[in-house]
Chain A
Amino acid sequence: MLKDITLGQFFPGDTIVHRLDPRTKIVLLIVYIVALFQAVSWWSYALVTLVTVLAMTLGHIKPKNIFKGLKPMLFIIVLTALLNIFYTQGTPIVEGWIITWEGIGRSVQMILRIVLLITGTFLLTYTTSPIALTDGLEKLLSPLKRIGVPVHEMTLMMSMALRFIPTLIEETDKIMSAQKARGADFETGSLVQRAKALLPILVPLFVSAFRRADELAVAMESRCYHGGDGRTRMKQMKLQGIDYAAFALGAVFLAAVIVLRHFGL
């Protein structure tokens, strides 16, 4: 049952979006988010939506996968929409009602904003492998090393965590099976009872995780790991033509949204 969990949710592929340098994609995501929050009018929302759909098409991302990812956010989306409908002042749709035309407009915009925000982040994680993502992050954040931020250590921890997720899930599965074989019950009872039943899983899992960490540290030292100083990388990241083109398009996009805002459209 636990094996079904896919983390990072990366869909391998060979589209233009997949081939972009991870750094480009991270920067473009930031540009996209800024643009999204600059959008106030229907015109600008239309533009952002258009760009999003275009990027999805280019990256061969199926709307189905986006909707699947939106599901956990459904509660927040509905709540935001309701609050906006009921708390926006303006002309009521029917005399005496609390619901206003402005309220409906606001809540549609809020829904769009949240959905587009999540879709944008999914575009990054669906088309970039977690390793490429951490590598890109390390490169992007590397200037922070100068002010003493342990960038290398942080990204190493991230990629190591990703590496051990499947291993630890497998281990959890094994422990659960072992406990079930001895009569443990994880599926029935109240929430509190089920939570309590998880404790006997967590204890051995933590003990084993610490033992693994210990062995891993020794193995890393045996392979001459001594921190990030003087380290080289086999895979060098290089910005290519498509990256520069993407940057240019991103800049145009952001400028367009700002211009639209400026003219009050």
Chain B
Amino acid sequence: MTVIEFQQVHFTYPGEEKESLRGIDLTIESGSFVAVLGHNGSGKSTLAKHMNAILTPTEGHVLVHGIDTADESRLLDIRRKVGMVFQNPDNQIVANVVEDDVAFAPENLGVPPEEIRQRVDAALKQVGMFEFRQHAPHLLSGGQKQRVAIAGVIAMQPDIIVLDEPTAMLDPQGRQEVIATVTRLCRENGMTVVLITHHMDECVGADRLVVMSDGRIVADGSPAAVFSQVELMESEGLAVPETTRLLYELRAEGCELPIDALSTVACADAIAACLKHSR
């Protein structure tokens, strides 16, 4: 089932001449984990902001569950379906206590108090922050804050969760925590996840990888298939994972290797098999 559909979307920021999105066609399937990769200024954040009607297209349409995001009377319906997590965790936490912040969205939706309590506890457990529910947000680490922000979105019970560079301001451990949490939400809870990032290693676990450059989609497919297009990726100014890079270089030297072994283990196995074969 399609949950988000972009139809020939063009977008120009007010006061700018250059189009930030130049004809995007994209459909996102329910329950999938889609990563959107691109360097700064590629339009990937602009794309994300179209998914819950923070921005609406200057041309074309974005449909969320069949609702046009340009329809202002349905704004709340769209936003409760599509949860959004932003880059800076400090700027999206509204309350002084973790559990109060997680309760913010259901409170806005007028959910009865007992149900809010249940939702908040469940959401905090899902992101592994339940024991921190009474803490002040500013005393948490970046990764923990970002997990609280994710819990705040889950408590709204959306179908889709869009994360706009959630790891850009985090240290490696925080990044790892956030990506693991998001992956689990998709795999175990069947949530549709759209992850906007510029770290290619965060895309490896996704079902689908969309590469953006200069307001267009330049590649779309499974991560293995997309990273295999090493020349294309490099011409777009994007590095490929080190495993792919290694396999690519070895192939250029004439070794018979697959290019789509993404994980370190798969890559090592492939090289070992190749060595055994050549003996």
Q: Is B104 an interface residue (CB 8 A)?
A: yes
Q: With A and B bound together, what is the CA distance between A121 and B15 in angstroms?
A: 51
Contacts of B86 in A (CB 8 A): 215, 218-219, 222
Give the complex CA separation of A229 and B80 in angstroms.
Answer: 17
User: Which A residues lie within 8 Å of B112 (CB)?
Assistant: 232
Which chain A residue shows the least CB distance to B92?
A219
The residue in chain B whose Cβ has the minimal distance to the Cβ of A220 is B94
A115 to chain B, nearest CB (A): 30
Task: Give the residues from 179 to 222 in chain A that come closer than 8 angstroms, CB to CB, to chain B.
Answer: 212, 215-216, 218-222
Interface flag for A231 (CB, 8 Å): yes
Q: Is the CB of B79 within 8 A of A222?
A: yes
**Interface: B259 (CB within 8 A):** no
Stretch at the interface among B20-28, B29-37, B95-103: B95-103
> Does A163 sit at the interface, judged by CB under 8 A?
yes
**Number of residues in B with C-beta < 8 Å to the partner?**
39
* A82 beta carbon closer than 8 Å to chain B: no
Whether B94 contacts A167 by the Cβ 8 Å rule is: no
Instruction: Specify which chain A residues have a CB less than 8 angstroms from the CB of B80 in the assembled complex.
Output: 224
Chain B residues lying within 8 Å of A230, measured Cβ to Cβ, are 110
Contact among A160, A216, A219, A231 for B108, CB-based, below 8 A: A231
Please report which residues of chain B, range 24-63, place their CB below 8 angstroms from some CB of chain A when the two chains form the complex.
52, 54
- The reply on A234 being an interface residue by CB < 8 A is yes
User: Are B94 and A224 interface neighbours, CB within 8 A?
Assistant: no
Q: Flag if B104 contacts A225 (CB, 8 Å).
A: yes
A250 CB within 8 Å of chain B: no
Find B52's partner among A215, A220, A222 (CB 8 Å cutoff).
A222
Tell me the bound Cα distance from A166 to B136 in angstroms.
Answer: 10
Q: How far is the CA of A223 from the CA of B152 in the complex (A)?
A: 8
Q: Tell which of B113-121, B205-213, B219-227 binds the partner.
A: B113-121
Contact (A233, B91) CB under 8 Å given A224-B79, A225-B108: no
Inter-chain contact B100/A235, CB cutoff 8 Å: yes
**Judging by beta carbons under 8 Å apart, are B94 and A216 in contact?**
yes
Interface flag for B84 (CB, 8 Å): yes
Question: How far is A228 from B80 in the complex, measured between Cα atoms in Å?
Answer: 17
The reply to whether the CB of A131 lies closer than 8 angstroms to some CB of chain B is: yes
In the complex, A131→B98 CA distance in Å? 12
**Is B261 part of the contact surface with A, judged by Cβ < 8 Å?**
no
- With the chains together, A244 CA to B48 CA distance in Å? 52
Question: Which residues from B are CB-within-8-Å of A162?
Answer: 96
Are A159 and B96 neighbours in the complex by a CB distance under 8 Å? yes
For residue A130, CB closer than 8 A to chain B, the reply is: yes
Do residues B108 and A224 form an inter-chain contact, with CB atoms below 8 A? yes
Q: Chain A nearest CB: distance from B156 CB in Å?
A: 6
- The residues of A that contact B159 with a CB separation of less than 8 Å are none
Which A residues are CB-close (under 8 A) to B113?
232-236
How far, in angstroms, from A140 to B86 measured CA to CA in the complex? Answer: 35
Among the listed A130, A219, A223, A235, which residue makes an inter-chain contact with B96, where contact means beta carbons less than 8 Å apart? A130
Min C-beta distance of B78 to chain A, whole Å: 10
B93 within 8 A of partner (CB)? yes
Contact of A232 among B54, B97, B110 (CB under 8 A): B110
Q: Whole-angstrom distance between the alpha carbons of A222 and B106 in the complex? A: 12
Q: At the interface, yes or no: A226 with Cβ under 8 Å from chain B? A: yes
Question: Is B191 located at the chain interface by the 8 A CB criterion?
Answer: no
Do A232 and B116 have beta carbons less than 8 Å apart?
yes
CB neighbours of A218 from chain B (8 A): 54, 86
Q: Is the CB of B117 within 8 A of A222?
A: no
Which residues of chain B have C-beta atoms less than 8 A from A153's C-beta?
none
The 10 closest A-B pairs by CB, nearest first: A219-B92, A215-B91, A234-B103, A223-B105, A222-B84, A234-B116, A166-B138, A224-B108, A230-B110, A212-B91
| 5 A-B residue pairs with CB within 8 Å | A221-B54, A223-B79, A225-B104, A231-B107, A234-B113
- New A-B contacts (8) at CB < 8 Å, excluding given A216-B91, A222-B83: A224-B156, A232-B106, A232-B112, A234-B103, A234-B113, A234-B116, A234-B117, A235-B103
